[in-house]
Structure 1
Amino acid sequence: MIIFGRTVSRSSVLRLSLTLGTWTLTLTRGAPATASLGLAVTGTAGLVCGCFLASGRNSRSCSLPGLSFGLAQPAEPSLPLPLSAQLDDLYLIAICHRRGIKSLRDLTPEHLPLLRNILREGQEAILQRYQVTGDRLRVYLHYLPSYYHLHVHFTALGFEAPGAGVERAHLLAEVIENLEQDPEHYQRRTLTFALRADDPLLTLLQEAQRS
């Protein structure tokens, strides 16, 4: 299953649970890294979450035959959701059904069919839903990711989304090409990323360098 979500910037905390096959993903709004909601369609009970159903059980048959809607109850049912209808700040996320792919580092040529399918079907779904063509989209993965389950960001080309810079974003088309040329590219390559001065990971890395 691939779920497309739209971010909102409201500071209130909203918890949303989505069932993906046999497991449940819980997203919390309030932390920008996990503020992902479904397809920006509101409903009387709070939020209608859109998802594309994958017909296959593995990466080689991950097609998107149609659009399905399921109801997600927010923690505050009466909370209004100020979802923008503007396409110039379009921001959607594709979440892979397959478990075990935590980040860019895990990707190998085995995952190429999955990655190509996400790129192709994601662009097609956005074209059908929002009439935005693939050449007007930025499609990328984060490293380091916000959460350790494979997901891909789709944003409007002119939208400067958080984490869209070169120090964190890796274009999906280039990821695919890198894996085609070198099967161990992401196991061997040095990946540079920025950290805040107070990030605990930075402290751990500095301690490791000193030891």
Structure 2
Amino acid sequence: MFGKSFSIGKTVKISLILVTLCSFVFITSNYNEFKELFNSYRTFLDELKENGILSPGPEPTNSRDKKILQVFEEIYSKADEMFTKYFNEDSELQLNIPAKLYKETNAKLYNYNVYYGRYLVNAVEGQPVDFNLINCETIFDKVHAEAIDSLFLNVYSSFTKDKKRLVAEEASNKRKMSIHPPVSRTGSQPSSSSRPSSMRLNSRTFQHTLDTIPSEQV
């Protein structure tokens, strides 16, 4: 009974660690791609920040305005992809992060989506655009940091629990050996009355629960 319970508990813990690891790998890959977009357009974005942005309108004619729409369309599409993967409540990859951080990032994504549509996609040509509001480079930084911390805590917690269990079992075995030492082949056999009445281990089960994260649909 004990062996079966331990095997199931260990399998569950390993599965949870693997799920956490996979989530970390996926979001890290997408996060790096998102950050790389800004790095690839760094010079152009710095120029926009320095000189300001005017809305190019729905049908830009000059190359600078066309590039503004192109760059921010790429950024918007990547941000939307990450939202769909990691924040949509119907997604299998929805992040298990603190509710406060989830709501904070969700709100930032919503505000960015509104501003992008209002001041770039559907704006009147020549309307001033606030670079700080249209620049969402750091929007996923806290989420990625939390994903790293979550992975570390899951793996470390599992390791420390297993270590404590092994130490406790070793101490228990030593106590049992002192009560019932091995019988020497050359000595006399102890009577049955001197043996412990039972050597059966109490069954244990290992359970692991995940806190549910409340979601806020955009």
State if a TM-score over 0.5 links the two structures.
no
TM-score normalised by length of structure 2: 0.25
Higher helix fraction (1 or 2): 2
Higher strand fraction (1 or 2): 1
**Which has the greater radius of gyration?**
2
TM-score normalised by length of structure 1: 0.25
